[in-house]
Structure 1
């Protein structure tokens, strides 16, 4: 019998420590699959900041560097400039990238750094207790917005793809989701394209992936996937916002 599916070499053996139903685990897998399919494991460097994304240090079988909260793009810039032959990517959540890391990501994108950022947007601070994040939806409840986000006092959700796509330098800016098998395959294809941009010495690539947080949303995993479809995607529509082929 032919074996058609196996654990990616870029993932260490072990049991996942993500909360049950958290799609970080799926994103971790498809990143590893993309790296393996492009045969990049020996030349890839992952930069991890603070938050649930730091668990990548346990699961990925890659070279990795820990960065301060929000500073992953700055560290990635240094690594890529020192080792331009490497494929360098940051793996960041919305509480990290769109808040304390806003300046870092915008300036790295504006400079056109030849790195990839994978931005996991689950609309909440996951690891630190479920506080409202920059991407929390209007009306969405959190520990710091128990009545739901009110735009009159907290403003509206920040749309990172839309912001970054207004800059001149980025070559690829796209938003995906991991709520269905079809969307998961599309997200993996987008990640591969972003890595290929690096291999072809192109500029900055930004991949946003809409995910869930069953624990802090207070929902079952299945209900969170429906919420992404019915609520999150309406605020953050999927699509390619920038694609410079040349």
Structure 2
């Protein structure tokens, strides 16, 4: 069966073969279409890094934010235009490294936004350096012998930091390494957007994504690595669904 191209897809993606970003952007477009949200009713606070290539693909209004500041940018947009669906689109380097405080404090302030964080365990656009989510033992451009807890610290699980925040209304972690996970991730994105529209509070979906180029793997092996290694460190599922404190 041939699927129709969502109305909000404006062109082919510019990502490396096997990268998960293109799938995730397609899922966002499908959800917006299915929810009846038009181009003029959604605004994306767009991060620096591979995420910024969303510019070429998704047809919604966008604000290009300084590195790490998408959470703050989205907060300002939503306060000025509370009638719009406002979401960030960020990599783990942007949202969990330089933008860690913006990510956590947007939740702490109960901003009525949705954060979409793509976790591929590296700084992808700048050459595959280690990020906060790089796994122990993982080799990158800056951990050539593998990450160690003693030298680099333990990987950061952003959900561990958002879960205790009372005003975080919806938190989930999905993946795009296989068809079943892709469908689940689409559900999480929709529920996060619905949480925002209902006024319940802050929502965040973290999405595990392969990076074949910087993992130095073919696309199939990179997808298999998520199933065999990455999910053990970052378990999938809905993490918080109870709504926000007023």
TM over 0.5: yes
Residue aligning to 1:53: 51
Is the 2:113–2:202 Cα contact (8 Å) retained in structure 1? yes
Question: Measured at CA, do residues 27 and 147 of structure 1 come closer, stay the same or move farther in structure 2, by a change above 3 Å?
Answer: same
- Residue 241 (structure 2) aligned to one of 233, 237, 243: 243
Structure 2 equivalent of residue 44 of structure 1: 42
Q: Distance in 2 between matches of 1:111 and 1:133?
A: 26
Q: Work out whether 1:34 is the aligned partner of 2:61.
A: no
SS at match of 1:171: strand
Structure 2: unaligned runs, 5 residues or longer: none
Q: Distance in 1 between matches of 2:197 and 2:137?
A: 42
Aligned length: 243
Question: Is contact 1:214–1:221 with CA below 8 Å preserved after alignment?
Answer: yes
- 1:151 aligns to 2:146 (yes or no): no
Measure the CA separation in 1 of the matches of 2:3 and 2:216: 33
CA RMSD of aligned residues (A): 1.1
Looking at structure 1, the residues matched to 228 and 147 of structure 2 have their Cα atoms a distance apart, in angstroms, of 17
Deviations 1:214-238 (A, max 9, x none): 0000000000111001110000011
Correspondence for 2:14: 17
* Separation of aligned partners in 2, 1:27 and 1:242: 21
> CA–CA distance in 2 between the matches of 1:84 and 1:151?
42
Whole-angstrom distance in 1 between the partners of 2:125 and 2:218: 18
The corresponding residue for 2:107 is 109
Displacement of 1:16:
2.3
The TM-score with structure 2 as length reference comes to 0.96
Q: Is the 8 A contact 2:10 2:59 kept in 1?
A: yes
Q: Secondary structure at the match of 1:174?
A: strand
**SS state at 1:45 partner:** strand
Other-structure match for 1:85: 83
C-alpha separation in 2, matches of 1:191 and 1:180: 17
3-state SS of the aligned residue for 2:66? coil
